[in-house]
């Protein structure tokens, strides 16, 4: 059996048919996994995780217009390369708008473009893992949206699908009762957030995974809050550097890992450092919105806050017993498409209270979890 390999992602956003074949050949020579798209929404979603982006003038214009219209910040970063068909001239204004690091004429400067791409490749075993490990962040429009339940369901669904060797469920809500309670791990030995040092040292995910509690049914690793009667115990207020180190350890792990981040409702607010962390580290951000007037009104503000941080959230609409709005009404208010609905699950609150999250998920929760997981960027692999 061949070893399984995962490759870094290279985005190609080229609408010019003259240079598209040449750019595709250049990109293929890097050995990266290639994703070819001219959809601005998809480009912005994949860009934080991509090794590099090659973009032409037309796509750069569309990306800029889409970002302006939706009030989304295009990440200012390295690894964006602007290309123009020769003889040019190069549209430097277009290049600046998409924060391109360098601009090239193609095909005459194809060797220079390939060299620039090579400079930004991380050596094997350094930086991000070749497994293309993923992180999904989930937050709610309001408290009680069901974020923890969906987070645990996502982890359970991913474990059942078997695409990752490790599933890590991270509880980032310091006021929560603890995700370990939801999964029946409250009495299971293992480290919680307060047990992690707040220093600058490297965290090895494989070692961390061995130290945290795991569900016996599907081996989900859970890093949860600690419960204490002491004020401030287990606080994550100043723990963003530690959270960053843990998330980095997921991305850099030698094994394939999916991280699921249960985030607080306020994480999208500009003054909260967690927003910047999530914008840099999460492959997907999910906003759970109860189908109720006040919750949807709050979601409109929350979505705007996330967009100002450069995050385009996926909307999951949750129906509770008193839901008063439908998909079309919610989409009109939010000016966002709803990815999936979770219909009211009558017995779930009592079941989770008495027994924890069921091992066999209710169908609406399973369907929603699969819909979110299928939005993750593809992971390249060699056939076994």
Contact 151, 157 (CB under 8 A): no
Q: Domain 9-119 is classified in which CATH homologous superfamily?
A: Response regulator (3.40.50.2300)
> Cα–Cα distance between 153 and 134 in angstroms, integer?
16
> Cα–Cα distance between 205 and 289 in angstroms, integer?
32
Q: What is the pLDDT of residues 45-99, one digit of tens each?
A: 888 778 889 999 999 999 988 888 887 777 666 689 999 998 888 988 888 888 8
Q: For the domain with range 134-373, which CATH number is right: 3.40.50.300, 3.40.50.10860, 3.30.420.40, 3.50.50.60?
A: 3.40.50.300
Share of the chain above pLDDT 70, in %: 83
| Residue 306: partners with Cβ closer than 8 Å, 6 or more residues away | 268, 275, 285, 287, 312, 313
Q: What is residue 268's DSSP assignment? A: G
Count how many residues are written for the chain: 384
pLDDT at position 384: 33
Q: Which of 43-47, 119-123, 234-238, 283-287 has the lowest mean pLDDT?
A: 119-123
Asked if omega into 87 is within 30° of 0 (cis), the reply is yes
CB burial of 69-79 (b: ≥16 within 10 Å; e: otherwise) equals ebebebbeeeb
Section 338-349 average pLDDT = 92
pLDDT at position 79: 82
pLDDT at position 6: 43
Q: What is the pLDDT of residues 272-305, one digit of tens each?
A: 577 777 877 888 999 999 999 999 999 999 888 8
Q: What is residue 255's DSSP assignment? A: S
Contact 313, 286 (CB under 8 A): yes
Q: What is the pTM of this model?
A: 0.66
- Whether the domain at 9-119 and the domain at 134-373 fall into the same CATH topology: yes
Q: What is the pLDDT of residues 302-339, one digit of tens each?
A: 888 888 777 888 999 999 888 889 999 999 999 889 99
Section 347-360 average pLDDT = 87
- Which residues are 34's β-sheet partners? 10
> Cα–Cα distance between 337 and 340 in angstroms, integer?
9
pLDDT at position 283: 87
Q: From 101, 93, 7, 91, select the one nearest 49 (Cα to Cα).
A: 7
> Cα–Cα distance between 64 and 11 in angstroms, integer?
16
125 pLDDT more than 60? no
Domain boundaries, the chain: 9-119, 134-373
Q: What is the pLDDT of residues 164-202, one digit of tens each?
A: 999 999 999 876 667 888 999 988 888 888 776 544 556
Q: From 126, 169, 131, select the one nearest 150 (Cα to Cα).
A: 169
Token pair, residue 160, equals 């059942």
Helix, strand, coil share of the chain (percent; to 5): 40, 15, 45
Q: What is the pLDDT of residues 364-384, one digit of tens each?
A: 999 999 999 999 876 544 333
């Amino acid at each position: 059996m061949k070893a399984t390999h995962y490759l870094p992602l290279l985005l190609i956003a080229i609408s010019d048919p003259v240079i598209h074949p040449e750019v595709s050949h250049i990109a293929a020579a890097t050995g990266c996994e290639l994703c070819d798209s001219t959809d601005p929404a998809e480009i912005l979603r994949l860009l934080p995780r991509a090794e590099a982006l090659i973009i032409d003038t037309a796509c750069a214009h569309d990306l800029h217009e889409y970002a302006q219209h939706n009030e989304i910040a295009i990440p200012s970063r390295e690894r964006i390369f602007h290309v123009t068909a020769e003889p040019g001239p190069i549209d430097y204004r277009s290049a600046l708008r998409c924060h391109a690091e360098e601009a090239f004429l193609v095909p005459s400067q194809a060797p220079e473009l390939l060299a620039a791409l090579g400079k930004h490749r991380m050596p094997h075993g350094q930086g991000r893992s070749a497994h293309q490990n993923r992180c999904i962040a989930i937050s709610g429009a309001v408290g009680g949206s069901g974020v923890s339940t969906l987070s645990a369901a996502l982890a359970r669904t991913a474990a059942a699908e078997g695409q990752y060797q490790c599933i890590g469920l991270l509880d980032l809500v310091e006021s929560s009762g603890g995700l370990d309670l939801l999964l029946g791990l409250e009495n299971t030995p293992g480290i919680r957030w307060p047990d992690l040092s707040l220093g600058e040292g490297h965290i090895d995910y494989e070692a961390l995974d061995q130290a945290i509690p795991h569900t016996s049914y599907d081996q989900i690793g859970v890093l949860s809050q600690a419960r204490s009667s002491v004020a401030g115990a287990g606080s994550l207020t100043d723990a963003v550097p530690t959270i960053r180190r843990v998330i980095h350890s997921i991305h850099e792990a030698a094994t394939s890992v999916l991280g699921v981040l249960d985030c607080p409702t306020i994480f999208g607010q500009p003054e909260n450092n967690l927003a910047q962390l999530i914008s840099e580290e999460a492959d997907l951000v999910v906003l759970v919105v109860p189908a109720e007037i006040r919750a949807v009104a709050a979601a409109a503000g929350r979505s705007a806050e996330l967009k100002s941080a450069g995050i385009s959230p996926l909307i999951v609409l949750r129906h509770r017993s008193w839901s008063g709005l439908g998909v079309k009404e919610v989409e009109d208010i939010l000016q966002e498409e709803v990815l999936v609905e979770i219909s009211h699950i009558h017995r779930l609150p009592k079941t989770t209270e008495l027994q924890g999250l069921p091992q066999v998920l209710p169908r609406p929760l399973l369907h929603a979890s699969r819909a979110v997981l299928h939005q993750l960027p593809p992971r390249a692999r060699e056939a076994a």
